[in-house]
Each structure stands twice: as C-alpha cells, then as structure tokens.
Structure 1
Amino acid sequence: MSYHLRFNEADPLRIRFALSPLWETQGAVRVLARPHQQGYHLPWLRRIADRARGLDLAPLHLLMPDRGHNSDCLYPPPPGPAVTFEEEIAAVRDTPPHLLADDLARTLAETPGAADTPHGRRMLADPAGAVHWLADLIEAAWEALVAPEWPRLRALLEADVAYHSRRLAEGGLERLLAELHPAFAWTEETATLTVAYRGEHVRALEGQGLVLVPSVFVWPEVVSGYDPPWQPTVVYPVRGIGGLWSESGERTPDALARLLGRARAEVLCALDEPAGTSALAHRLALAPSSVSAHLSVLRGAGLLTSRRYGHQVLYERTPLGIALAVSQPDDE
C-alpha cells in the first residue's frame, strides 16, 4: 500500500524543506502512546515523565489512528521554512469550523467507537469550540514536552535540511528523493514519487510542489498525505537521531580533552551534525559567549568550517576535525 504523488513540469521547481515545531509536538504526543517508537527517545521520556503525567492527552490520542486519515487541520503543512510554534498554532485556531468538522469526522471514523466517546461527541457537536479546546491541549503538550528541548531538536533538523540541500545541488531531485528514506521510490517515466505508507492514495501535485519536513519523533516511519486545500507534504525521519539524546561527556575522549581542553573538545565532539552557537550552548549547558569563543578557536585551527543558513551560522567539522573527534582512544 502506497501514496503516489504525481509531478508535472512545474512541481520540481516548487519542492521546499520546512521545519515544524507543531509537527514535532504531534509526534511527541504520538510517541507517548506507542511503545514501539520509544527506543531512541528513552532519555527524553525520562526527562519529561513528571510533566507528561500532568497532561490530558486522551483527546489528541483519539485523533491519531494507526491507519487511515489523521487530522490535517490540527497539524497542517508548515507555511514557511522556519515557522514558529506560535505562528502554527494561531493558524490552527483560525481553521474554518466547516473544514474542521469534516476533518474530525473522518479522523474519528478511523477508530471504531471513537465518535461515540465523550471526547468524540464533544468534537462533533461543536467543531468551532473544539478547535480552540484541542489547540489549547496541543499548546500545553508543546510547552511540557517539546519546547524545553527545541534548541537541540531544531539544530538536528536544520542540519538535516542543510545536508539534503547539498545533496540536491550535487545530484538533482532523483538522488535527493532516493536518499531521504527507504520508503521512497521515484519513477522517472511517470514522474511519480511513491511512498510506502499505510493506505492507498494517488494525488496529482498540479504545480503545488511538495513540502519535505524532517522530524525527530516520526521515526521510524514516514508520513505522506494531506488532501486539498493543503499542499502535498511528506514527513520523514531526520538524520542523526541515534546520538540525539546522548550527553557531551559520553562522547568526549579524555585524550582529546587533554589536547584541546575539556570544553573545547566537547564543542568539537558535539558537532556530529552542523549546528549553530545557540543550539550548542543549550546542548552543552555553556554560555553562548563561551561556545562562540571555542568555535572561533576551532575554526581558526582548521578543525571547523562555517556557513550561513537563514539567519544563523552553522558550524561543522572539517576532515581534520572529524579525524580528531572520532579517532582518539580513551585511557585504558
């Protein structure tokens, strides 16, 4: 079973990447209810356990069936490359009630009995009120589960976009789509992107292009969908998730710390993926000014390179920096 996204001659020109804090919040809520998705996120689950117990996520879980239609109105495609959660949730609250009513009814119908639960009946009886109630629940989930970790998550997501943007420049659209996820298959003869996913669906993009959204919490799956009027969107697992929750001290060799100094070595080892100063400062619990000074020294020594991405500067290791970070043995 697959989604088939059919391109015309204009669609390749309108492919864009975007980050979505709203989608990460949806993914985080979903992970809490699905133990098979929790493997990589156990450190995060331990950190948010107390905050999660104070949330009533049952209405949101009711709108997250394993198969079939999931709510488009509550988690629409991000409108821009670096939209804020506040902008996304404001758009959700502005959803026309008639559009939401159909969306909620379709989603609840995917789970037998969901529409007859107290929460389901409340949603269907008053869609205009439900959108604000549900948006409040999503906002509470964002503040408790995702916002404290957003600098770390955003750094990984931005690094993924930077990497795949380079791959697009180097090898074109076919290589990009082939590398994003094993579930993707590009058929040149019909200009069709096939995404192995739960359900059978065909959609012609008709010049709208495609939004590609990397996600931490969607792992290990890929999500494709959205019906008109939403822009076609594919959400795929971000690169580098294996080391996302590891602390810097767990991956900084003592020999490298003696050579560079502990803090500077931790900055170098934390750059498994390109990152900016603020994200590194948050990850390492250091002052941004200190991280900036360490980055300047490491770059001057030829261990890092930098480039501008949007409004920030991303740093990544040079071949020499990679060799130092990964090949230093710990003391016996």
Structure 2
Amino acid sequence: MGGTQNSSIRTRTRRSERPDRHGYHAPWLRGIREAAEGLDLTGLWLLMPRRGHSPDWLSPPPAGPTATFEEEIAQVRAADPGAAREDSARSLADTPGALEHPLAHAWLADPERMIRDLADLLEQVWHTLLAPDWPRLRALLEADVTFHSRRLAEVGLGGLLPEIHRRCGWRSGTLTVASDGEYERHLGGRGLVLMPSVFVWPDVVSSFDPPWQPTLVYPARGIAGLWADPAGRSPDALVRLLGRGRAAVLAALDDPATTTALAHRLGLAPSSVSAQLTVLRDAGLLVARRYGHQVLYERTPLGMALASGGA
C-alpha cells in the first residue's frame, strides 16, 4: 500500500472544476480560490476528461509510501517522450475539442516540451495549493494505510477490497472493479498497489496499462473531518467518548510530541501515556513517525476533528 503526491495534485485540480464533487472539500476550495486563480491550469484541464483516459505518465504509481515530492516529480520529468505523447493523445481524444487546442498541437509535435511544461506546472500547483496542507493530508493517508494494512492481515484481500470500495471485489484470484467499460490484464506476479487518495471520492480509479505498476486508487478514510476548523474544545464530550486518560492525551497533542514529552506535559507516568497512545493510534486517531531515535505522535484528521469538537 502507498500514497502519492502527484496524483493528489491532479485530483485536486480536477476537484476544483467539478462542483458536483466538492462535497467534503468545499472549505479547502474556498481557502485556495484566490491562489488557484493565479495559476494557468489550461494544460491540466486538457488532459482531464470527465470520462475516459487520464495520462498515466503524469501520475505514475509511487516508488513507496515515503517517496518525496522531489522524487516523484523527477519521475515525471524522466518520462519517455514517445510513450508520453501516445498516452496524452489518448487522453486528449476523450476531451471534446482538446485535440484542436493550440497547446495540444504544440505538445504532440514536441512531447519533450510537453513533459517540461506539465512538470513545471505540477511543481507550481504543488507549492501553491498542496504543500501548505500536506502535513494534514499525509497524516490522513498514513492513518489509512495503517488501518487497511491491519485489515488486510485480519480478513485477507477478498475481505478487504469490498471494504475499500463497494465497486471492488476479489474472487478466485481475480480483482473486479465495476465500471462502464471492460478491461482485462493478467498481473503476472507484478502485484497490486492499493493507494488511498484524499480527493478521488466518491470514485475508485484503476490503472493497469503497461508499463505502469497495476494500481487501485480509493477514497481514504476520515475525509469527513479533514477540513474541520479548530473550535472550542469539548473535553467533557471527549471524556465521555474516549475515557479521561485517552481524552487528555488526544487533547494535549496540539503539536507532535514524544511519549516522554506528553507524560511531562500531563503529569502522568510514561507507561500510562504509552498505553493510551497505542489505543488511540490503533483507532486511527494518531499516527507515529520516527525521527532519529525519537518517535513523535500526531493527530490524524479524524483525531483533529474529535479534539476540536468537529466530529
């Protein structure tokens, strides 16, 4: 399982153009409206058909769950020009009028320029619209990976896929995704990447075209509380829901902290705090990250929503 930042960029820009998909993300859209108006996203709109193919070379599957944006954008810049041209032409054909656009003509004539232009645009979008929110988004995605990894061990792939999305199924070694078209590919031992996305909701997106790693992108858990604004705390409600000890630990994590720091902050024994952190992490309210010899705990978006009274 893994997450990717490039696919988040492309899904985010698509989200802003589809009012019917605003849903949980309306607060974010209001917040980035002015910044987005300063970007010329024409090139991305041309390659984002409402129905049809989106270029895989623009959002290749991640090398791993810890891949950085710099590593991912380098992968985009290293795309094969011939393959990128073919991939993009297929997408342009699915967007009415796109093939007649001057930019499309220029790109198909010079795919190396297309790769440079779109990689530069993705970098602009990342720094302007995505990077400020990435710690929050990363926490949500990492919590989802942790939860579904545990579920995979508990119920197997056949039990997990329908939980990930109602359109997914697994039977006799065959993955099925209910969709309008038909496509079949034998994985041949290459495996399948399960990738949570904050912005793909309510859809599930599959990518199986060679040479890309077969990937299934699904809506991450907890997006309902993702953009909850901090509000006045409701410690009594948290105590009733979680118990006094766990509520105190969750409320104290305004900033990432170690077990020792939290114990000092709360005046509790480290062993007691460690036990509460484990329960909160297993419930998807916290994630833990190692920095050198330290392990820092921070809230997931679901944990933020509970702590702020937004749940």
- After TM superposition, the score normalised by the length of structure 1 is 0.77
What is the Cα deviation at residue 224 of structure 1? 0.6
Query: Take 2:99 and 2:73, find their aligned partners in 1: how far apart are those partners?
Result: 24
Q: Within 5 A, what are the aligned runs for 1:79-158? A: 79-158=63-142
RMSD, matched Cα: 3.0
Amino acid in the other structure paired with 1:231: Q
Deviations 1:145-193 (A, max 9, x none): 11100000000000000000111111222111121111101222xx211
Percent identity reads 51
Query: Take 1:202 and 1:255, find their aligned partners in 2: how far apart are those partners?
Result: 53
Which residue number corresponds to residue 163 of structure 1? 147
The question of whether the paired residues in 2 share the 8 Å contact of 1:177 and 1:184 is answered with yes
Query: Take 1:249 and 1:115, find their aligned partners in 2: how far apart are those partners?
Result: 48
Q: Within 5 A, what are the aligned runs for 1:239-258? A: 239-249=221-231, 252-255=233-236
What is the Cα deviation at residue 45 of structure 1? 1.0
Q: Against the structure 1 CA distance between its residues 295 and 245, is the aligned structure 2 distance closer, same or farther, given a 3 Å change threshold?
A: farther
Q: Secondary structure at the match of 2:120?
A: helix
Deviations 1:9-57 (A, max 9, x none): xxxxxxxx01101111111111011111111011111221111010111
What is the Cα deviation at residue 218 of structure 1? 0.7
What is the Cα deviation at residue 311 of structure 1? 4.0
Q: Against the structure 1 CA distance between its residues 54 and 295, is the aligned structure 2 distance closer, same or farther, given a 3 Å change threshold?
A: farther
Query: Take 2:298 and 2:77, find their aligned partners in 1: how far apart are those partners?
Result: 39
Q: Secondary structure at the match of 1:230?
A: coil
Is 1:196–2:178 an aligned residue pair? yes
Which residue number corresponds to residue 44 of structure 2? 60
The question of whether the paired residues in 1 share the 8 Å contact of 2:258 and 2:296 is answered with no
The question of whether the paired residues in 1 share the 8 Å contact of 2:288 and 2:297 is answered with no
What is the Cα deviation at residue 101 of structure 1? 1.1
Q: Against the structure 1 CA distance between its residues 109 and 170, is the aligned structure 2 distance closer, same or farther, given a 3 Å change threshold?
A: same
The question of whether the paired residues in 1 share the 8 Å contact of 2:235 and 2:247 is answered with no
The question of whether the paired residues in 2 share the 8 Å contact of 1:109 and 1:115 is answered with yes
Q: Secondary structure at the match of 2:63?
A: coil
Query: Unpaired segments of 5 or more residues in structure 2?
Result: 241-245
Which residue number corresponds to residue 29 of structure 1? 13
The question of whether the paired residues in 2 share the 8 Å contact of 1:256 and 1:265 is answered with no
Query: Take 1:48 and 1:175, find their aligned partners in 2: how far apart are those partners?
Result: 38
Q: Against the structure 1 CA distance between its residues 266 and 56, is the aligned structure 2 distance closer, same or farther, given a 3 Å change threshold?
A: farther
Query: Unpaired segments of 5 or more residues in structure 1?
Result: 1-16, 271-279
What is the Cα deviation at residue 257 of structure 1? 8.5
Amino acid in the other structure paired with 2:32: I
Q: Secondary structure at the match of 1:136?
A: helix
Amino acid in the other structure paired with 1:242: A
Q: Secondary structure at the match of 2:217?
A: strand
- After TM superposition, the score normalised by the length of structure 2 is 0.82
Deviations 1:213-257 (A, max 9, x none): 10001111110123111111110000011111113326x315368
Q: Against the structure 1 CA distance between its residues 315 and 197, is the aligned structure 2 distance closer, same or farther, given a 3 Å change threshold?
A: farther
What is the Cα deviation at residue 269 of structure 1? 5.3
Amino acid in the other structure paired with 1:216: V
Query: Take 1:51 and 1:34, find their aligned partners in 2: how far apart are those partners?
Result: 18
Which residue number corresponds to residue 227 of structure 1? 209
Query: Take 2:88 and 2:60, find their aligned partners in 1: how far apart are those partners?
Result: 13
Query: Take 1:78 and 1:219, find their aligned partners in 2: how far apart are those partners?
Result: 19
Which residue number corresponds to residue 193 of structure 2? 211
Q: Against the structure 1 CA distance between its residues 21 and 267, is the aligned structure 2 distance closer, same or farther, given a 3 Å change threshold?
A: farther
Residue of structure 2 aligned with 1:304, choices 253, 259, 277: 277
Q: Which has the higher contact order (CA 8 A, sep 6+)?
A: 1
